[in-house]
Structure 1
Amino acid sequence: MSTIQILMLATILVYLIGMVAIGAVLAKENRTTDDFYLGGRKLGPFVTAMSAEASDMSSWLLMGLPGVAYLTGTADAAWTAIGLAIGTYVNWLLVAKRLRNYTHVCNNSTTLPLFFSNRYRDEKRALSVIAAVLIIIFFVPYTASGFAACGKLFANLFGLDYVPAMIISAIVIVAYTTLGGFLAASTTDFVQSIVMTLAIIVVFGFGITKVGSFEAVMANAQSMAGYFSLTQIHDAATGTASPYGILTIFSMLAWGLGYFGMPHVLLRFMAIEDVKKLKLSRRVATVWVVISMFVAVFIGVIGNAMSKVGVIPTLEDPETIIIVVAGVISQHGVLAAIVAGLILAGILAATMSTADSQLLAASSSASQNILKEVFMKDMSEKTGMLIARITVLIIALIGVFIARDPNSSVFQIVSFAWAGFGASFGPLVLMALFWKRSTLQGALAGMVSGGVMVFVWKFLIRPMGGALGIYELLPAFLVGLAVNVIVSLLTPVPSKEIQDEFEKVAKM
C-alpha cells in the first residue's frame, strides 16, 4: 500500500472512529425504548432537517446520480432530481407538522406501524404487524446493499478482500446504532450530511479547474446529441439522441411520491422537539436537497468532459466517477491525499447514513411492532432495551449474510424498495393524516393493494413496454390511494372518538 493510500485510509478510519464515538457518548441518553427508537422527541431543527435528507439520499447521491448524468446526459438524472426535490418540499410542508402532532396525541406512537394501529383503533394490531413485516422485507436487503457498497469501496481502493472490508463497515454502523440508537443515528447523519456536502463541492470545483473552465464543460456537453437536454437522452454507444417522452418524465417525477411512505424520513418528523421549528427544518432540508442534487448531476457532466480531455480515463462503471476523481486529487501531495480521503468518507457517509436508519427502522418493526405488541405485551423497559439492541444485531447479521457475495444483485432492490414503501405507506399516511372518513378496512386494503401492485406492475405489466413501461411507483401509489378511498366509503363511518381526535389534531 502506497503512502497516499495510507493517508487516505487513515483519514477514513479517523472519520469512522468519530462516528462510533458519537454513538458511545449518546448511549447514556437511551433510558427507554422510546428514547432508543425516537430519541425522546428531542431533535433540533438542523439535525431533523439534515438527518432526514442524509438518511434518504444514500450513495445514490454521490454515485448513482452523477453516473447517470455522465453516461446519458441530463434528462434522466434531472427529472428524477426534480421529482425528489418537489417530493421533499411537499412532504415537509404537508406531512411533517401533522404527523408530529398526530403521533404525539395518538397514544404517543413511537413507530410508524404503531401510529397506524393507534390512529384506526386497530385492537388486533393487524395494521401494525403487516406494516412491520413490509418494513423488514424491504429494509433488510436495502441495509445489505449499504454494507456491500462500503465493502466494495474499500476493496477497490485499497486492494482489500471484499468480505472482511464489508464486515468491518457493518460493524462500525452497527456499533454506533446499537450504542446510541435513534439519537446517534440522527446525529451522525447530520455530521455525514456535512461530509457529503464538502465532498461534492470539492469534486465540482476540482473538475471544472482541470477541464479548463465552466465554458469548456458546457461546450463538451452541447457537442453531444441530446446530452444537455431535458427532452432527449444521449446514447453513448451510437452518439445519437432519442426522445424523452412525457410518460417517461412523469415516471421519473413519480420518485417524489415515495417520500410520503419512507419510514426513516417520517421518523425524523415525529422526533423533532419543537413543532414550531419545522418551518426552519423545511427550508434547510429543501435548500440542501436542491443544491446537492444539482451539483451531483453536474458532476456527471463535468466528469464526461474530464474524460474527453484525458484527466480521467473513460469510465467502464460511470458510478465510480467521484472515486476516480478522488484518486486524481490524491496525487497532488499530502494535503490533497487527506482531502481525497474526506471525499471517500463522503461516499461512506452517504451509504452509512441510510444504512443506520434502515437498520433502526427494521429493528423497531421486529422488536416493538411484532414482539412487544403481539407476543410480549408486558415487556419491561430494561428487557425492551435489551431486545432492541439484540434485534439490531440480528438484522445486521442477516444483512451481512445477504451482502457476502460482491457480485450479488442486491443493489437492484433499492428502487424497488422505494416503490414498495411509497405505494404501501404513502397513500395510507396521507389518508390517515388528512381524511377523517378513512377507515381501518380502507387503510388495510389500501396498504396491501399498493404493495401488491408494485410486484404486479414490476414483473407482469412493465415488461410489456411502451406506455406501460413506467416506474411501478406511480400506478401502485394511485391504486393504493383509490382502494383506500373506495373501501373506506363502503365501510362504516369511524367512531366518534377517532373523529374527535382527528379534529383535535387538525386544530393544532
Structure 2
Amino acid sequence: MFEVNASVITTFAAYLVIMFAIGLWAFRQTHGVSDYFLGGRNLGPLPAALSAGASDMSGWLLLGLPGYAYLAGFEAIWLAIGLMLGFWLNWLLMANRLRRYTIQCDDALTVPEYLSRRFDDKSGALQMIAAVVILVFFLFYTGSGLVAGGKLFATVFGLDYHLAVTIGAVCVVSYTLFGGFLAVTWTDVVQGLLMMAALLVVPVVILSEVNGDLVPSLNAINPHLTDVMRDVSGTPLSWIAIVSLVAWGLGYFGQPHILARFAATRSDDAINTARKISVTWNFLCQIGALLVGMTGLVYLAQHGLGPLDDSETVFIHMVNMLFHPWIAGVLLAAILAAVMSTADSQLLVSSSAFTEDLYRRWLRPDASQEELVWAGRIAVMAVCLMATVLAWNPDASVLELVGYAWAGFGAAFGPVLLLSLYWRGMNRAGALSGMLVGGATVVIWRQLSGGIFDLYEILPGVVFALIAIFIGSKLGAPATQKSLDDFDAIKNT
C-alpha cells in the first residue's frame, strides 16, 4: 500500500491540470465536426506518431504487459514480437493509402463512413453495422482502461475500487468531452512521452538494484522463466500457445482509434516520418514493459516480498519502493497517461460512430455542425457511463478485456479494411460478409474451450473473415463503376 503524501497528490493534480488546459485550448480551436473528429486533417509527424502509439497501448502497457512478464518470464516475448511486427506493418501498409482513400471518398470522417463510400453502399447497411461493431467492442476496450485507472487510484491512494474507477472515468471524459480530436491528440503527445520515459527509467533503476544479473536471477527463481519454448511449469509451449501470442499483431489493421491518426495526418511525407518515430517509440516501450515485469519479479524475490496478489500492479509497487515520492508521482502519472491516452481516443471514435454513422445518417441528416458536435459530446458521456459499468468488477483483468476487444476489431475490420485498399474487385457483399463473419467468429470462439478452441480468437476470426470476403465478392453484385474509379484514382496517386 502506498503512503499517500503531498508529493504524489501534487504531481497527479499538476498532471491533470495540464491535460484539462489542453482540452480547454482545443475546445476553442474546434469549429465543426471535422475538427472535432479528425482535427481538420492537419496532424504533423510528431503528434501523429505519438498519438498513434499512446492511443494504441493504454494502461495495458504499464499494467497488463509487465504483469504478464512477471508471471510468464520470457514466454511474454512472443506477444511483444507479434505486436511489434503488427504495429510496423500497420504503418507500412495502411497509413498512406487509408489517408488518401478517406479523402477520395468524399472526405469520410469515420471507418463506417469510409466503408460505405468505398463500396458505394446506397442502403447504408455497411455504415450501420460497422458503427454497431465499434460501439459494442469499444465498451470492453474502454472498460479495460477504466479497470487500469481503478487499480492505479485504489493501489496508490487506498481508495475503494469503485470510487477509483469513477474518478478515472471523470478524468478521461472531462477533456475529451469538449476538446475533441485536438485535445486527444495533443494530450497523447504529452502522455506518450511520459509513458516512454517511465518505461525507460524504471527498469534501468531496478536492474541496477539487482546488479544487472537478470537472467541468472530469473534462473535462480525458476529456470523455466528464461525459456521461450516452455511455460513456467516446464511444459513445452504448444503451437496453439505460440501462434496465439504472435497473432495479437493481426489486430492492428482493424483498430479504429489508431487508424483515425492515419486519416488525420496532413501528408504522405508526414506519415513516412511519423512511422519511423512511432515504431521506435513502440519498440522501446514494449522492451521496457517486459523488463519492468521480469526485473520486478527478481527484486521482490531478492527482498522476500513476492509474490504479488495482483501481478498487474508490479509497476506500481516497484515505483513505490525505489523512487522518491516526487519522482514516484511523475512515474505513476504515466499510468494515468496510458489509461487516458487510449480511453479518450476510444470514446472519441465511439462518439463519431454514433454521431456520423447513426445520428446523422439515420436520424438527423440535416443537422447543423453545432448540433453534431454536441451529439458527439453526449455520446462520449453515454459510452463512458456504460464502460464504467463493465469496469465495476474489481477482479477484472486489463489484459483479458483488451484481448477480447482487440480480437473483435481485428477480425471484424482488419481484413475488410486491408483488402479494401488493395483489391480492386472487392465489393459491398464481400465487405459486409467479412465484417459479420469476422466479428461473429470472435464472439462465438471465445465461448468455447479445449483443443483448437484454446487458440486466440483473433486468428480464426481473421481467417474466416478473409474466406467470407472472397466468397461474398465472387457471388455478390460486381463493384460499382464509382468504386472502381475511386480505386483507380488512389492507385495512380
Please indicate the TM-score interval, normalised by the length of the shorter structure. over 0.9
Residue 307 of structure 2 aligns to a residue in which SS?
Answer: coil
Give, in whole Å, the separation in 2 of the partners of 1:222 and 1:150: 33
Asked whether the equivalents of residues 255 and 473 of structure 1 are also in contact (C-alpha less than 8 Å), the reply is yes
Matched, 1:503 2:488: yes
Q: Is the CA contact (8 Å cut-off) linking 1:312 and 1:325 kept in structure 2?
A: no
CA distance in 2 between counterparts of 1:337 and 1:266 reads 38
Q: What residue number does 1:221 align with?
A: 218
Q: 1:64 to 1:293 in 2, by over 3 A?
A: same
The equivalent of 1:427 in structure 2 is 415
Which secondary structure state, in structure 2, belongs to the residue aligned with residue 438 of structure 1? coil
Give the TM-score normalised by structure 1.
0.93
1:439 aligns with 2:427: yes
Does residue 233 of structure 1 match 2:231? yes
Using the TM superposition, give the Cα deviation of residue 65 of structure 1 relative to its aligned residue in structure 2, in angstroms: 1.3
1:361 aligned partner: 349
CA contact (8 A) 1:442 1:486 kept: yes
Runs of 4+ aligned structure 1 residues displaced above 6 Å come to: none
Q: Which amino acid aligns with 2:319?
A: A
Letter paired with 2:167: I
Query: What does 1:31-430 align with in structure 2 at a 5 Å threshold?
Result: 31-75=31-75, 77-211=76-210, 213-214=211-212, 216-223=213-220, 224-235=222-233, 241-310=234-303, 312-330=305-323, 336-407=324-395, 412-430=400-418
1:3–1:140 Cα change, 3 Å: closer
Residue 217 of structure 2 aligns to a residue whose secondary structure is: helix
Instruction: Determine if contact 1:128/1:369 at 8 Å carries over to the other structure.
Output: yes
| Contact 2:196/2:284 (<8 A) preserved | no
- Residue-pair matches, total: 492
Alpha-carbon shift at residue 169 of structure 1 (Å): 2.0
Runs of 5+ unmatched residues, structure 2: none
- Percent identity, aligned pairs only, is 39
Do the aligned partners of 2:2 and 2:157 also contact (CA within 8 Å) in 1? no
Query: What does residue 5 of structure 2 align with?
Result: 5
CA contact (8 A) 1:428 1:447 kept: yes
Cα 1:253–1:95 shift into 2, 3 Å: same
C-alpha distance in 2 between matches for 1:458 and 1:368: 30
Cα offset, 1:483, TM superposition: 0.7
User: Deviations along 1:303-336, whole A, 9 cap, x unmatched?
Assistant: 1210221075432222111110111124xxxxx2
Shift in Å at residue 377 of structure 1? 0.6
Asked if the contact 1:44/1:272 (under 8 Å) is kept, the reply is yes
Give yes or no for contact 2:144–2:398 (8 Å, CA) kept in 1.
Answer: yes
Task: Select between 217-226 and 121-130 the one with higher mean Cα deviation.
Answer: 217-226
Query: What residue number does 2:460 align with?
Result: 475
Q: Secondary structure at the residue paired with 1:273?
A: coil
**Most deviating of 146-155 and 107-116:** 146-155
SS at match of 1:243: coil
**Cα offset, 1:396, TM superposition:** 1.9
Q: Secondary structure at the match of 1:242?
A: coil
Provide the secondary structure at the position in 1 that maps to 2:129. Answer: helix
Cα pair 1:39 1:182 within 8 Å, conserved = yes
How much has 1:17 moved relative to structure 2? Answer: 1.3
Check whether the contact 2:187–2:341 (CA below 8 A) recurs between aligned residues. Answer: yes
- Determine the C-alpha separation between the residues in 2 that align with 1:70 and 1:152: 17
SS in 2 for 1:233: coil
Report the alpha carbon displacement of residue 144 of structure 1 after superposing the two structures with TM: 2.5
8 Å CA contact 2:8, 2:328 repeated in 1: yes
Of residues 454, 468, 473 in structure 2, which corresponds to 1:488? 473
SS of residue matched to 1:188: helix
**Any conservation in 1 of the 2:119–2:480 contact (CA below 8 Å)?**
no
CA separation of 1:226 and 1:3: change in aligned 2, threshold 3 A:
closer
* 1:433-484 CA-partner distances (Å, limit 9, x unpaired): 1101001011101110111111222213xx122x442101011101001110
Counterpart of 1:458, as a letter, is R
Give distance in 2, aligned partners of 1:296 and 1:143.
21
C-alpha deviation, 1:389, in angstroms: 1.3
Aligned residue in 2 for 1:333: none
Superposed displacement of residue 405, structure 1: 4.3
